[in-house]
């Protein structure tokens, strides 16, 4: 259900929209800068009220896609449709969005009040209503009382909260955030992350946030769009992206991942260090090479050495667990395994120790040999 800004202010009955109604449909959008293709045939549907993150390494096209949605950049081909209206050729001022940029793009010569009121004045909203709306918005971002301050007198985090209030002032259907937290220090960033998330949930405004920070995307997004070199690698919930990465790139970009070179033995078995391992059914050619991906926390270590084994070459203490580096016996490959602190006592974990290694089939994913990783 969506609660609009209006309903917060005037207690109108809120517009009811479900998360399955499409808000924005991007179809086959390509954007070229000269001979360089920054966006390559992007298709994506964003649902009403959803919080979507565009996640990917620097230069993959996240900002270009956001700017195309806003009309600040024009796609070379493809169409955009917002709530059933073709917006493909509309100028930014005719589109329905509010935007927050990475660097504080507040008007330095205007007070906080006037920054937030800016879009409302442009729309000739009457003064009493502007006063009420600005007060409401500043309360929403916990900045009541800062009306007469100038941006220079505010911290980075406060400036971004003003920018957020300004972006929301005209009740846009779509909130666009381009790395809004990345210029802030870690503590402020973490705090503002939960504030933005709570605010978005409360208002129900469809939101797209660009970030290169996987933790930010995993903690904030309903769905993550992982991008690389102008294409979408995967769209999914944080859990899907983390547990079922669709490509070796996604597997390498999110979290920590071991990649092991294996030989494909059958449709459900691979060979690693002369040991036969069961894996989930796959379609890679039998007899060929492949990359087996498994997260350190999924690796189980035992004192019984049977099949796959390795020697402990490093132990890193990380509080709740220890990250162990193992040199695989019979292969020139290393493996990271996260051992919960209580298990390390049971294992008698120490450097130089040889341990049995179990790679659970359901936690291991197979990708073609030579797949691109980060």
Ligand X SMILES: Nc1ncnc2c1ncn2[C@@H]1O[C@H](COP(=O)(O)OP(=O)(O)O)[C@@H](O)[C@H]1O
Residues that bind ligand X (CB under 6 A): 33, 36, 38, 56, 58-64
Does 146 contact Mg ion by CB under 5 A? no
Sign, CA dihedral 254-187-337-353, equals positive
CB of 8 to ligand X, least distance (A): 32
- The full length of the chain comes to 374
Which CB sits closer to Mg ion, 211 or 247? 211
Beta pairing class for 258-266 and 321-328: unpaired
CB of 210 to ligand X, least distance (A): 6
Query: Binding string to Mg ion for residues 60 to 79, with x set by CB under 5 A, is what?
Result: ---x----------------
CB of 17 to ligand X, least distance (A): 29
Which CB sits closer to ligand X, 34 or 370? 34
User: Are 368 and 290 a contacting pair, CB within 8 Å?
Assistant: yes
Rounded Cα–Cα distance for residues 202 and 2 (Å): 8
Which CB sits closer to ligand X, 154 or 210? 210
User: Are 138 and 165 a contacting pair, CB within 8 Å?
Assistant: yes
Which CB sits closer to ligand X, 36 or 317? 36
Structure tokens belonging to residue 244? 């079922």
Query: Binding string to Mg ion for residues 21 to 60, with x set by CB under 5 A, is what?
Result: ----------------------------------------
251 binds, among ligand X, Mg ion, none (CB under 5 to 8 A by kind): none
DSSP of 310-365: EEEEEEEE-SSEEEEEEEETTSS-EEEEEEEHHHHHHHT--TT-EEEEE--GGGEE
CB of 27 to ligand X, least distance (A): 19
CB of 63 to Mg ion, least distance (A): 3
CB of 176 to Mg ion, least distance (A): 12
Rounded Cα–Cα distance for residues 286 and 218 (Å): 35
Which CB sits closer to Mg ion, 72 or 315? 72
Rounded Cα–Cα distance for residues 287 and 270 (Å): 9
61 binds, among ligand X, Mg ion, none (CB under 5 to 8 A by kind): ligand X
Rounded Cα–Cα distance for residues 230 and 331 (Å): 36
């Amino acid at each position: 259900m969506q609660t609009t800004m209006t309903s917060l202010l005037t207690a109108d009955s809120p517009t009811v929209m479900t998360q399955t109604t499409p808000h924005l449909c991007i179809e086959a959008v390509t954007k070229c800068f000269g001979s360089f293709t920054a966006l390559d045939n992007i298709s994506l549907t964003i649902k009403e009220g959803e919080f979507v993150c565009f996640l990917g390494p620097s230069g993959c096209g996240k900002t270009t896609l956001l700017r195309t949605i806003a009309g600040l950049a024009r796609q070379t081909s493809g169409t955009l449709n917002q709530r059933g209206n073709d917006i493909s050729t509309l100028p930014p001022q005719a589109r329905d969005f509010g935007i927050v940029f990475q660097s504080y793009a507040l008007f330095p010569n205007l007070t906080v009040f006037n920054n937030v009121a800016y879009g409302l004045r442009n729309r000739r909203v009457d003064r009493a209503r502007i006063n009420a709306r600005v007060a409401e918005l500043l309360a929403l971002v916990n900045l009541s009382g800062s009306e007469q301050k100038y941006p220079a007198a505010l911290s980075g985090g406060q400036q971004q909260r003003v920018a957020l209030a300004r972006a929301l002032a005209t009740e846009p259907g779509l909130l666009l955030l381009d790395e809004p937290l990345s210029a802030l220090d870690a503590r402020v960033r973490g705090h503002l992350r939960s504030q933005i998330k709570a605010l978005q949930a409360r208002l129900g405004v469809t939101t797209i946030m660009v970030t290169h920070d996987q933790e930010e995307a995993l903690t904030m997004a309903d769905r993550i769009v992982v991008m690389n070199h102008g294409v979408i690698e995967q769209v999914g919930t944080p859990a899907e992206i983390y547990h079922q990465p669709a490509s070796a790139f996604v597997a390498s970009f999110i979290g920590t991942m071991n990649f092991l070179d294996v030989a494909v033995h059958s449709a459900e078995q691979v060979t690693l260090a002369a040991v036969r391992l069961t894996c989930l059914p796959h379609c890679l050619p039998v007899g060929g090479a492949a990359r087996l991906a498994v997260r350190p926390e999924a690796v189980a270590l035992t004192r019984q050495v049977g099949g796959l084994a390795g020697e402990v070459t490093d132990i890193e203490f990380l509080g709740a667990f220890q990250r162990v580096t193992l040199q695989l016996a019979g292969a020139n490959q290393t493996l990271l395994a996260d051992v919960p602190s209580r298990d390390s006592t049971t294992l008698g974990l120490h450097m130089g120790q040889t341990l049995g290694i179990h790679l659970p089939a359901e936690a291991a994913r197979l990708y073609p040999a030579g797949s691109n990783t980060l």
